[in-house]
Each structure stands twice: as structure tokens, then as C-alpha cells.
A and B are shown apart, each in its own frame.
Chain A
Amino acid sequence: MTKMVYDFFLDEEGFESAGLTQRFDSVQAGINDLDVSGCTKGCLNAQHIPSFMTTAETKEFPVANKVTPNTLECGYGVTSDETAGPGEYINGDSYYYNLLNSNGPDVCDCRQKPMPDDGVWEPIISSYPILGLPLELKFPATDFTEYVNPTLIVMMNVHVERLAFDWVGTSWPQGTAALGEWLLGQGVAFAIQMHDAINDTWHHIYDPLGVANGSTNRLRRTERRVGAYTTNHAYPPVDDTSTTLVPIYRDISIRCAITANDLFNAYDENGEQYQIEKIDKVRGVLSLIAMTGYQTFHGEVQVNLYCGISNANLSIFMPRCKERN
């Protein structure tokens, strides 16, 4: 209907059954077939309509430094185990990228080459109250193609307490022009990943337009990095307890919106682009950036990186969106 039509009673018209029935029926038909044009602005309040969020969840790894000695353990601490060359890693540790622009002993200026497709990443894990939980959130498997403009909003914060490195080799290339690169090259990368619910695989969220130095080097849209440093460039750390380690206290803050387009821009384990049909989890990951290579007069240097995270939290939101017809 558009508007209710009601015949007014005429002057001195009798209340007869036929006239009353016609008018009662008219009102009833109108009420049972309302039109939004008959609804006033602001007619729907909080009791009438559901939340506009279909998902709103969070996971937190609490800070230590509180109650018992056990909570004083770091949230995360690993050592990269880069051996002879880039691409080799052992003991399951993550590595991100450490390839320098040359391995030659006389030509290396120790700058990093472009990053590889993915590197090796691992989830940020908890140390308290339960050890080893991944910083990961699960939600109902969502086929983004079933909705109009679906968006999953992801927020992650990580507190990096310490980040430092030591090295193994003939001698540290201190005092050379390459020193800055050596110092700055060490660090940790953080990112958000989404989970393919059908193939049970994790994937980065790539910038579809961001191609760095060739098609094989894709930009991870959510990636953030933080570098390790020492207080004294002339005396790099000699081990993980070196006095040249300093707390860095860096906050990593990543905000991300995953849309249907991102599912089209995923890559499989062979580096081939494919479409994820459904995602059901997101997580926070990290990867160590430990440089390995040669320096003139100093031979091979292998760097071990140490990262300590005190706390982290991850939250997701999915606004209600319209289903496709």
C-alpha cells in the first residue's frame, strides 16, 4: 500500500454494519501492509534492530611484570639460525630476509636486496597465563562473495621490549663504511595474516598495486618493522647478555581492513596467484631479519637476533553487510 484510505462518515450517516465493515477492513488492510513511506524519520530504535557488527572479538596476551616470577618470562624470544646462506633456516625459526647485494668479499657493501615473496613467518605466541597460544582470532567462515562490500577490520598492537643481536664470524666489520647497514639491517617484521578456511593455509594481505623491484617481490600491506640497535657502534654485542643491549620499548600498531579484493590477491605456496573463497581466522605474525654475509677483510659474519615481546592484543570487527541476491 502507499497510504491508508479511509472514507469519512457523512453527517447523520447511520452506523450500519456494511459501512463499519468497509472501514474496519480498510484500516486492517492498511496496518497489515505497511509501507516504509508511512514510517517517520528515526522510527527504529535500539530495540527494533540488531547490532551492526556481526563479529567483534579480541585476544590479549597480558603483560608480565606483575605477580610471580613466572610472569616475568618474555612473551616471545627466539634466535634466528641463519647458516651458510639466505633461504636456509633451521630449528623452525623464522627468517625474513638477509640477502645482501653481494656475497663477494670485495664488492659487498652489505645493503639488503629486495625482500622475497614471503620469507618464513611464525605467529606471535603467549607466555602467560598459557604458554604458546598464537595471537589468533577465529570467526565464522566467511565467503566474501556472498556479500556486498564486506569488510573485516583488524587491529593489532605489539609491545617490543627488547631487540638486539649478536654475531658469529671472524670479526665484526666495525669501523667500515658498511657498519651502518649492518646495524640497521637487523630487526623484526610484523604483519597480519588471513587464513584460507578451505585449504587451511595462511596468507599475507598484499597490496595489489604494490610491486617492489619485480613481480616476485610483493608488498605486504600490513607489514611493520622495527630495527635493533646498540648504544655503541664501536662495540657491537658479543652475546645475548652484552651490556650494549638496550631496551627499545617500541609499539607496533597495525590497522587493516580486509575486503573481497584482498582474497583475489592471495598467492599460493608456489607463488601463483589464486582466489581464497572463505577466510575464518586472522593472526599476528613476525619474522626475524638477520643479515648474513661477507665483509671485506672480515670474512663471513652470521648474526643472531633476539626479540622480546611483553604484550600484544589483536581485535577484529565485521560490520553487518548486505547479502547478494
Chain B
Amino acid sequence: MGDFNYVNPPGAGSLAFEATPTGTDVEQNWFFPVSGTPISLEVINGHLTSPNLGLLQKFKKYHVQRGALSTGSSVGATANLDYFWDQFGALDKLYTGGVLTDRQWIRDENLIQYYSPIPGANIEFYNPYAQAKVLLNWNIIWYNDGFIEKPLPPHGCGEPVPPDVNNPMNNAQANITKVQMFYTTSPNQTEQELDDVGNRKCPPHFIKTDYGECPLPIDNIDNYWPWGGLSTHLNAMGCRSWSGHKLVTLVGKGWYSAGLRLVFAGNSTIYGNSANPSARDEAIYQSRVRTRSMRYILFKS
């Protein structure tokens, strides 16, 4: 509406000069609700619009209701968080292929059941707007104690290595800890969906000092990775950090959630790991998550 006018204009009708005002006319000017343009002082019941505001009048920040445009929050944790092999599926369940052939993760729709959530990197939030955009933003550092299948010249002892570097999806090695982002896309959705773009992997970083069947002398500083360094889970070369983001369009008020989960092919001490490095190994005994956080900034569309 623009400027409002009375249903019984002052100066006319019973309100005309020297006329006798009627109670009805006065009452209607005070309160006469109608659909459309208000015609009484009832206009102040939520019908005021921009033309009612004087020219050059500008609102200040404090006029905007808290949460009217955006909301946001974050969670995080810094204590080490350890995941062990028996929480996850074994190599033969999480991967296809063999030692001498291409190792591949099983398809996501099958792999999804093996993921384990990461406390401190999961968040729930309420969207108060009919339509909104939410920016999810997270940080995480993690690593594992798996052994890298160390290549040797020429081509070692048949280690599972990438046969085609131009096909990097070919994971080849199975001793990888994968962090995956999950989120919901509709209000009050209970099952999170896997984000196609949101995943990162951490390679192993222990070097075997005994390959068993391998005839080459490998217990040499040249064979450590990184070269000359100690192969240890404390080596920063083995950590991976991920500062990820995702922009999601939300339609509908309600609760939403997002977070990170982790998966790797578990392997007990029987087959080799940091506790038993002499055995051939394609899986992981332990993965450790260090600092992690998840944030959201939600703004009205």
C-alpha cells in the first residue's frame, strides 16, 4: 500500500464542517479491517509499508531482528580420536581387485555402511527460512599407520602400484584412510547423503623394512619415505589436512545436518601393521583424527 486514507474522510460526511459526527463513522476510522489497502487506523496492525516511511529515512543495523538474515554456528574438537581396524570392514569387503591388480574401493552405495562418524566434525542446525543457502566449512587432520607398498626398482616385487597415473581414480593401494562429507538436503531428513565432491584420502606412510619374498636389500636409508627420514606415524609427511567447503541450497524450514565420517580397510595384527611390520600389508590397524571442526553460515535467499 501507499499512504493510507480513512474510510470516512475527515472534513466530509458526518465529519464535515459543523456536521454532527456519528459514532459509526468515528469508530470505522479507528478500526475497519479490510482486505487490500487499509482504510482505518488499523493500518498499524502490520500493514505499514515503505511509502509510509518518510523520504531519506534509513534503518540502522539494530532495526534488523537478530537472525532475520542469517544464522551460524560451529563445533570442533582437538583431542586425538583413534579408530581401530575392528570398527570397519576388512579388505575383501571394502575393495575389489587384488594385490597385483588394480585395487578399487567398492561403490559408494555399498561403502556407505562402513563409514564411522567423527565427533567434533558433525553439526545440526535449524533453517528458519523458506529458502536459504548454507555454507558448510570444515577443517580436519588425520593419518594412519598403514604401510606404503614401497616401490622398488625395477618395479619391485610386484607391489600394488598405480598402473596408469593418468587414471588417478585408480587407487591401487588399499591402505588408505578416507574421510567423506555427508549432509542432508531436505528439512528433518534423517538419513544423510554422501557428497559426491566431498571426500579426501590419506595415504599410508610407513615403509616396510622387510618385504619377505623380496630379494632386494631394502633396509637402507635410500628406501625410506620420505627419503632419509624415519618412517613413523609422527612424520608430518603422512598427515593430511582438509579445509573443505560446500554451498547447499535449502528449501523448507526445519532441521538439517552435515558432518564428516571416516573409513578404511581394517587389518588385525595377524596380517601386518605397525605392530608386526614384517608381514605383507594392504590394510590399516589404526587411524588417528586430530583437530577437526565443522561450521555453517546460513543466510536467507
By a CB distance below 8 angstroms, the chain B residues around A15 are: 21, 26
Closest A residue by C-beta to B226: A229
Interface size class of A (residues with CB under 8 A): 35 or more
Closest A residue by C-beta to B205: A246
Given contacts A245-B161, A247-B203, A249-B240, contact A231 B148 (CB under 8 A): yes
By a CB distance below 8 angstroms, the chain B residues around A242 are: 151
The reply to whether A51 and B301 contact each other, CB–CB distance below 8 Å, is: yes
Stretch binding the partner chain, chosen from B8-16, B85-93, B277-285 = B8-16
The reply to whether A49 and B69 contact each other, CB–CB distance below 8 Å, is: yes
Closest beta carbon of chain A to B95's beta carbon, Å: 11
> 1/0 contact trace for B116-128 toward A, CB 8 Å?
0000000000001
The reply to whether A253 and B244 contact each other, CB–CB distance below 8 Å, is: yes
- Cβ-defined partner of A243 (8 Å) among B14, B19, B161, B202: B161
Given contacts A43-B63, A243-B161, A247-B172, contact A56 B167 (CB under 8 A): no
Report Cα–Cα, A253/B198, bound state, in Å.
13
Closest B residue by C-beta to A29: B3
Query: Is residue A152 contacting chain B, with contact meaning CB distance below 8 A?
Result: no
- Cβ-defined partner of A56 (8 Å) among B21, B105, B166, B247: B247
Query: Is residue A91 contacting chain B, with contact meaning CB distance below 8 A?
Result: no
Report Cα–Cα, A48/B300, bound state, in Å.
12
The reply to whether B62 and A235 contact each other, CB–CB distance below 8 Å, is: no
Report Cα–Cα, A45/B46, bound state, in Å.
12
By a CB distance below 8 angstroms, the chain A residues around B172 are: 247
> 1/0 contact trace for A216-250 toward B, CB 8 Å?
00000000000001011111001011111111111
> 1/0 contact trace for A123-164 toward B, CB 8 Å?
000000000000000000000000000000001010101101
The reply to whether B128 and A46 contact each other, CB–CB distance below 8 Å, is: yes
Query: Is residue A317 contacting chain B, with contact meaning CB distance below 8 A?
Result: yes
Given contacts A56-B247, A232-B152, A315-B245, contact A309 B168 (CB under 8 A): yes
The reply to whether A310 and B151 contact each other, CB–CB distance below 8 Å, is: no
Given contacts A36-B57, A56-B299, A58-B247, contact A45 B18 (CB under 8 A): no
The reply to whether A243 and B15 contact each other, CB–CB distance below 8 Å, is: no
> 1/0 contact trace for B89-119 toward A, CB 8 Å?
0000000000000001101100000000000
The reply to whether B243 and A253 contact each other, CB–CB distance below 8 Å, is: yes
Q: Chain B: interface secondary structure? A: loop
Closest beta carbon of chain B to A172's beta carbon, Å: 12
By a CB distance below 8 angstroms, the chain B residues around A28 are: 4-6, 10
The reply to whether A240 and B226 contact each other, CB–CB distance below 8 Å, is: no
The reply to whether B165 and A233 contact each other, CB–CB distance below 8 Å, is: no
By a CB distance below 8 angstroms, the chain A residues around B300 are: 46, 51-52
The reply to whether A36 and B58 contact each other, CB–CB distance below 8 Å, is: yes
Report Cα–Cα, A67/B194, bound state, in Å.
14
> 1/0 contact trace for A164-176 toward B, CB 8 Å?
1000000000000
Query: In chain A, residues 1-47, which have Cβ atoms closer than 8 Å to a Cβ of chain B?
Result: 1, 15-18, 20-22, 24-25, 27-28, 31-36, 39-46
The reply to whether B162 and A247 contact each other, CB–CB distance below 8 Å, is: yes
Interface residues of B, Cβ cutoff 8 Å to A: 3-6, 10-11, 14-21, 26, 29, 41, 43-44, 48, 51-54, 57-60, 62-70, 104-105, 107-108, 128-129, 133, 135, 148, 150-156, 159, 161-173, 176, 196-197, 199-203, 222-223, 225-227, 240-247, 299-301
Given contact pairs A238-B154, A244-B153, enumerate 8 new A-B contacts (beta carbons under 8 Å). A1-B54, A36-B60, A74-B168, A161-B168, A241-B163, A251-B242, A313-B245, A315-B247
8 A–B pairs (Cβ distance < 8 Å), ordered by A: A34-B48, A66-B108, A157-B243, A235-B153, A240-B164, A245-B162, A251-B242, A308-B168
